[in-house]
Amino acid sequence: MLPAREFSTLRLADVLTSSLDAVLSRPNPLGLPAVSKAVVVLADGLGVSSIRARAGHARFLASRLNKTSIIDGVFPATTVAGIATLTTGVEPGQHGLVGYQVLDAERDRVVNQLTGWDADMVPETWQRARTVFDTAAEQGVPSFAIGPKRFTNSGFTGAVLRGATYVPAESIADRFRAARTILNEQPTALIYLYVAELDVAAHAHGWESGRWLAQLETLDAEMATFAAGLRRDEGLLLTADHGVLDVPAAKHILFDTVPDLVAGVRHVAGDPRCVQLYLDPDQDAVTAETLAAAWRAVEGERAWIFTRDEAVAAGIFGRVAPEVLPRIGDVIIAARRLVAYYDSRDPKKSARTMIGQHGSLTDEELRVPLIRAGAFER
């Protein structure tokens, strides 16, 4: 039931690790040349398909987009999994952030890995992998993470950016200015620059909206200006964690209204385009296989449906550590049509106001750019 597709040779996991290798004058998967300083921009939600569709509004980015500058993100195509893979260099099955919301089996609860960190979900241990910034510090390379002030001390920041000095900067322009200041002051550096605005606009208004387009134009202009000012020993990369699809409310599917689709289910997690279902361990009437079969009978034309065992065997989460395995749903529903799946019993209705959505295995959600500039341009 999984899609037949060829994944790119280069991976999101290679981007930041290769940048550090370049600063250390080491061979790397991206083939980056040696530099003194490297900047990696993560444009949240900026898929390849969106750049192509709006090429006239993103001339700098679009002009550098070709077959060698397209890579795959990770599954699920969601921010927590994508950014954690970028900053650790390992797949979701290793770092442990395997969805927007997942099961915390030890406490029998669903946790939000983006905003739901608490005393029982310690960032330093829940996210299992060392970061590239930790490695940089060991090698004597100072590293910096530039992003909005509100993320300075968040649990997610602690999970995926540990080892880096966090530099708050509110606007996109402010963040690029902060990066230029660091480059001017440091003889060697690894810089991660986060752009949240595109994803925020897409969720609220859709990626086809004027609001989203304005953020794209701002990012493109800032990238062009910043790239023009790079010195010979400074390299720049831009990538993304996932792409986005606009899903109209008429395409929302309230799956709990079909009893067979929630029979035996104790917890519902994931994203609307990548639902993860967890069975009640105290019942044995429904198994992962029978639940998956029920979903295939009803939704098999609109979604890829697979069990945890099938997902692990197919490697879509990468290598999965035993500690991470219970976080993955017993059954996973990944939308392949322009639909989003919701549980109408959920008292939180705000998610159903989102227009831009992501999480699944489509090209629009998985294909992300790898734009090179400065010393990294080729």
Here the CATH number for the domain that contains residue 36 is 3.40.720.10
For residues 152 and 230, membership in a common domain is answered with yes
Domain membership flag for residue 115: no
Tokens standing for residue 273 = 């385009």
For residues 22 and 131, membership in a common domain is answered with yes
- Cβ neighbors of 165 (< 8 A, separation 6 or more) are 142, 143, 144, 145
Tokens standing for residue 225 = 């200006």
Backbone φ, ψ for residue 22 (5° rounding)? -65, -40
Please give the average pLDDT of every successive group of 10 residues along the chain, which has 378 residues. 67 97 97 98 98 97 93 96 98 97 96 92 93 98 98 96 98 98 98 98 98 98 98 98 97 97 98 98 97 98 96 94 97 98 87 94 96 93
For residues 23 and 165, membership in a common domain is answered with yes
Domain membership flag for residue 148: yes
In order, the DSSP letters of 111-128 are: EETTT---TTS-HHHHS-
Q: Which of 73, 72, 90 is nearest to 17 (CA)?
A: 90
For residues 42 and 17, membership in a common domain is answered with yes
For residues 366 and 283, membership in a common domain is answered with no
Give the per-residue pLDDT at 5: 60
For residues 19 and 132, membership in a common domain is answered with yes
- Cβ neighbors of 162 (< 8 A, separation 6 or more) are 123, 124, 131, 133, 134
Give the per-residue pLDDT at 10: 87
Task: Spell out where 78-233 has E strands.
Answer: 101-104, 109-112, 143-147, 165-168, 189-195
For residues 22 and 128, membership in a common domain is answered with yes
For residues 190 and 331, membership in a common domain is answered with no
Here the CATH number for the domain that contains residue 269 is 3.30.1360.180
Model-wide pTM > 0.75: yes
User: Residue 328 sits in which domain range?
Assistant: 249-357
For residues 228 and 257, membership in a common domain is answered with no
For residues 257 and 218, membership in a common domain is answered with no
For residues 241 and 253, membership in a common domain is answered with no
Q: Which helix (H) or strand (E) holds 300?
A: none
Give the per-residue pLDDT at 107: 95
What's the per-residue H, E or C state across 9-45?
CCECHHHHHHHHHHHCCCCCCCCCCCCCEEEEEEECC
